[in-house]
């Protein structure tokens, strides 16, 4: 009896460790996704904005100020949007968990006068009266193995709680907003390094392309997708946004047209 009980306890502990690792990976993936998305969005948005301003005006300071304003506004917007969307996702998943919880279903259906112990016995597939009290035979306070089994029997093990895998809107919003600012720093620093307009535009595009490739590789690494495909996809999307913004605002280059007129 003791050997079988210890074997079961060892299995329970092993399952508990695997479950803890799974929960940690899920929680880590949630804010990593928001961080990578925010950094990529901050890089592309701020770079495109600065290129659009640079296409219409030659003023270096104006380009930097516009990029800084876009970075701050984008970070706040990204954090707020991520908080709202993740909160809605959490509410939906929480409602689904509550509806699909077998314990709540049994407790709602059990007859009047039934106790929680009866419901617990029904869930675990045995009748309480057919065997002696578990706690009377082995005390959970005397052995960690017995504590694991007792907690599993009572349904109180935290690692079995699906609520631990629910997305955290605060972490997602913080990671998204901060990573957006970090991604926006790349084109801002590039614009500060070049005083000539043409060199400034080319430098921003080159540095942003390198950063996009790095972000694409990181996203593929964490997501388990092919690195080359992810890098190409991110680069093409970023180049498209930059080209469209620069091309649409280039006709508003009044400074260049005024110099040609004189």
pLDDT tens string, the chain, 262 residues long: the values are 455 555 555 555 555 556 566 656 666 666 777 788 889 999 999 999 999 999 988 888 999 999 999 999 999 999 999 899 889 888 887 888 777 765 555 555 555 544 544 545 544 554 444 445 544 555 545 555 555 555 555 544 444 456 667 778 888 889 889 999 999 999 999 999 988 888 999 999 999 999 999 999 988 887 778 899 999 999 999 999 999 999 999 888 765 555 545 4
For residue 133, being part of any structural domain is answered with no
pLDDT of residue 122: 47
Domain-embedded: residue 55: yes
109, part of any domain:
no
- Which residues constitute the domain of residue 188? 2-98+140-255
Instruction: Please indicate, yes or no, if residue 7 is contained in any of the structural domains.
Output: yes
For residue 187, tell me if it sits in a domain: yes
Contact between 40 and 31 (Cβ < 8 Å): no
H-type alpha helices, the chain = 2-56, 60-100, 102-109, 116-123, 134-137, 144-154, 169-193, 197-223, 227-249, 254-261
Nearest to 47 by CA among 183, 231, 176: 183
pTM: 0.66
Among 161, 198, 208, residue whose Cα is nearest residue 58:
198
């Amino acid at each position: 009896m003791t050997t079988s009980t210890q074997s079961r306890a060892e299995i329970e502990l092993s399952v508990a460790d695997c479950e803890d690792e799974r929960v940690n990976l899920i929680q880590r993936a949630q804010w990593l996704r928001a961080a990578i998305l925010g950094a990529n969005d901050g890089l592309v948005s701020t770079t495109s904005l600065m290129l659009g301003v640079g296409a219409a005006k030659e003023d270096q300071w104006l380009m930097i100020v516009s990029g800084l304003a876009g970075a701050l506004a984008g970070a706040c917007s990204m954090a707020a949007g991520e908080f709202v969307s993740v909160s809605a996702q959490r509410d939906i998943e929480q409602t689904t968990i509550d509806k699909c919880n077998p314990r709540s279903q049994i407790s709602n259906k059990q007859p009047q006068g039934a106790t929680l112990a009866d419901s617990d016995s029904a869930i675990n597939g045995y009748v309480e009266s057919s065997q002696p009290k578990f706690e009377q035979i082995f005390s959970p306070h005397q052995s960690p193995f017995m504590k694991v089994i007792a907690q599993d029997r009572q349904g109180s093990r935290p690692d079995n709680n699906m609520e631990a895998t629910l997305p955290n809107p605060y972490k997602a919003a913080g990671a998204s907003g901060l990573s957006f600012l970090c991604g926006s720093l790349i084109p801002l620093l590039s614009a500060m390094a070049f005083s000539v307009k043409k060199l400034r535009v080319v430098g921003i595009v080159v540095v942003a392309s390198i950063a996009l490739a790095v972000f694409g590789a990181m996203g593929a690494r964490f997501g388990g997708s092919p690195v080359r495909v992810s890098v190409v996809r991110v680069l093409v999307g970023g180049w498209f946004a930059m080209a469209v913004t620069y091309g649409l605002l280039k006709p508003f280059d009044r400074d260049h047209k005024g110099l040609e007129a004189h």
